[in-house]
Amino acid sequence: MPLPPPHPTPWPQVAPADAGFDPERLYAAVEFAEAHESPWRRDIQAQLEAGNFEPPPDNAIIGPTAPRGAPNGLILRAGRLVACWGDTRQVDMTFSVAKSYLSILAGLAVQDGLITDLDEPVGRTVRDGGFEGAHNGAITWRHLLQQTSEWEGTLFGKSEMIDRYRTLATEFAGSPGKAKGSARPLQAPGSYWEYNDVRVNRLSLALLRRFGRALPEVFAERVMRPIGASTDWRWEGYHTSDVEVGGRLVRSVSGGGHWGGGVFIHAEDQARIGLLMANGGAWGPTRVLAEEWVRRSVAPCALKPDYGLLWWLNTGRVYQPSAPADSFFAIGAGGNVTWVDPTHDIVAVLRWIDTAALNGWIARVLGALAA
């Protein structure tokens, strides 16, 4: 499969017809993306302070934010760029796409022997007080990666209680009849699925403990440099998330921008990461990530079949009905999407699309494939 040259060389573009697309239909799909901009404000801090995820005081920002730019994106087929729009080198917050990058880091930890068994309790190797007692002590790496851990506690000034009863469709409105942040009774680890950003941040800290160094350093060295990515991206934590590692303070990064922080990155770098996953963890002759880890990452969680190891899946074509069932996604709030479609050899990145239009956009892209 063709691979792009290292940044900053422009990504070579091929004519849509040469990649199997009807040009007019593909251009119509691009226009559709441009016409369906995210309803999020350009001022991200104002968006968060307005209570996008929860009302005050739980919505207090503790990490950096940045205003967002205009919608942009690109489409690859067989590793070749066939369409792009907007400024694809515009560095923006990417919110929960960072969770999927934590999954990649967990895969590297497995390769390095830092995690020997996903079903091993985390507390056997991470002894920082976060996994003690009968409840938290039973939590495994798999539980954290599948969001079934039910970890209990407060981390960096945020209680995991904030995201109890969270529903992604309604955010702080919570589940029917239950306000987000209400005291939901905890279940046994591994028996209940809930999207919870504090628990993902607890995973990030656990990975930091195992690597013994800042996760952005590992990600840059082991992932971004081998795939020829830029150095324009950054991964931030909170002003409250400095921890001692080996006698020095290291900032633990967040798995999203819920309270600020997270990954700030552009579409071209995100497309490289998507292409790495589409290639089963290989970048040409270089093996970056074990193929087995990629396979495990997109295996359905028994409690949530459209979720893997911090990747969204399309099992049963439930998540995005227009996409093939083997599609998988890195998804961030505000309309930040990386879509990997193995059936059609497509990788696409969308920045700041209205998520209500995502399925319609996918239908237009696939409808543009020549018969």
| CA–CA dist 331, 41 (Å, integer) | 18
Instruction: Dig out the tokens for 169 from the structure.
Output: 């469709």
Nearest residue to 194 via CA among 159, 146, 154, 157: 146
Nearest residue to 339 via CA among 367, 301, 366, 300: 366
Encode pLDDT of 266-284 as tens digits. 999 999 999 999 999 999 9
* pLDDT for position 169: 64
Encode pLDDT of 137-194 as tens digits. 999 999 999 999 999 999 999 999 999 888 876 554 555 667 888 888 999 999 999 9
* pLDDT for position 66: 98
CB atoms closer than 10 angstroms to residue 214: 18
Taking the CA atoms of residue 48, residue 311, residue 84 and residue 264 in that order, the dihedral angle to the nearest 10 degrees is 40
| CA–CA dist 208, 178 (Å, integer) | 34
Instruction: Judge whether residue 123 has pLDDT over 70.
Output: yes
Instruction: Judge whether residue 63 has pLDDT over 60.
Output: yes
* pLDDT for position 318: 95
Q: Do the strands 312-313 and 336-341 form a parallel or antiparallel pair, or are they unpaired?
A: unpaired
* Cα dist from 308 to 91, 185, 261, 304, 314, whole Å: 27, 24, 24, 8, 10
Nearest residue to 98 via CA among 214, 202, 236, 190: 236
Percent of the chain with pLDDT over 90: 90
Instruction: Dig out the tokens for 39 from the structure.
Output: 């309803």
Residues 181, 173: contact at Cβ < 8 Å? no
Encode pLDDT of 319-368 as tens digits. 999 999 999 999 999 999 999 999 999 999 999 999 999 999 999 999 99
Predicted TM-score of the model (pTM):
0.97
